[in-house]
Amino acid sequence: MVEITDAELTQAKRRWDTERAQRPVPVSVRFDAPSGRIVVEFANGAAFMVPARSLEGLTEAEDEQLAEVELLGETGLHWESLDVDYSISGLMSGVFGSRTFMEAQRRGGQSKSPAKIAASRANGAKGGRPRKVIKGS
């Protein structure tokens, strides 16, 4: 059995306090219905916002469900009724879901539906995009 002395415990607590002071510590989280964003506020006065329905598992959630968001310690967000968790650092790094989900989101605007192809061809028949007018030329 390993025994830890009071001095070692005190030293570990000091290291923890130093590390904690060097990173943003979340103090609250809420869903802002008018903007559709999750807002995380930090002890240093900073805030981070992310569009709630851009996150895997929240795309079809009702406002009431999104409002149930809670801090999961100092590192995560949790929606109990939706069984969804996210790390704050992951969200701040742009990780909004699984690799498959994020790839599908990226491809969304690049879809080649028959309607999109027809619209593109119709616009092309009109001469394509209008030329930019450069003032002063």
Ordered by where they begin, the domains of the chain are 6-98 (3.30.2020.40)
pLDDT of residue 40: 97
pLDDT at 112 over 70: no
Against a cut of 0.95, is the pTM above it? no
For 36-71, give one letter per residue: b (16+ CB within 10 A) or e. ebbbbbbeeeeebebebebbbbbeebeeebbeebee
How buried is 95 (Cβ within 10 angstroms: 0-12 exposed, 13-18 middle, 19+ buried)?
middle
CA 89 centroid distance within chain = 9
3-state SS assignment for residue 34: coil
Query: Which of the residue ranges 25-34, 55-64, 84-93, 94-103 would you say has the lowest mean pLDDT?
Result: 94-103
For 102-123, give one letter per residue: b (16+ CB within 10 A) or e. eeeeeeeeeeeeeeeeeeeeee
* Residue 70: pLDDT band with limits 50, 70, 90: very high
pLDDT of residue 84: 95
State pLDDT tens for residues 11-62. 999 998 888 777 789 999 999 999 999 999 998 899 999 999 999 999 999 9
